[in-house]
């Protein structure tokens, strides 16, 4: 896995930019960073088996956007539970 930006897919660059969002709490940022590391490995594995880069980007963005929605919904549920207590 390389940190060389030339080797980054468009999807990975987009996702990494999202991690720089100053509104992310440290806990969410840490969790999302771990998820990003898994996605980076998936990206490399798919490229190693010859999958088309555009298709990989499309699927990685879809996976990450689903993850963001689920994480956001979970955070909102926790916040609501905390308000109810």
Mean pLDDT of 42-66: 94
CA distances to 22, 24, 72, 80, 81 from 77, in Å: 21, 16, 9, 5, 6
Mean pLDDT of 32-59: 93
Is 53 in contact with 47 (CB distance < 8 Å)? yes
Is 43 in contact with 12 (CB distance < 8 Å)? yes
CA-to-CA distance for 37 and 9, rounded, in angstroms?
Answer: 14
pTM: 0.71
CA-to-CA distance for 55 and 66, rounded, in angstroms?
Answer: 17
The per-residue pLDDT for 5 is: 38
pLDDT in tens, 14-39: 888 888 888 887 878 888 888 899 99
């Amino acid at each position: 896995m390389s940190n060389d930006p030339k080797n980054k897919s468009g999807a990975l660059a987009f996702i990494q930019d999202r991690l720089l969002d100053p509104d992310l709490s440290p806990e969410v940022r840490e969790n999302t960073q771990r998820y990003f590391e898994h996605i980076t490995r998936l990206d490399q594995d798919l490229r190693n088996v010859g999958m088309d880069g555009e298709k990989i980007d499309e699927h990685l963005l879809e996976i990450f956007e689903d993850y963001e929605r689920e994480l956001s919904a979970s955070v909102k549920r926790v916040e609501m539970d905390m308000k109810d207590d």
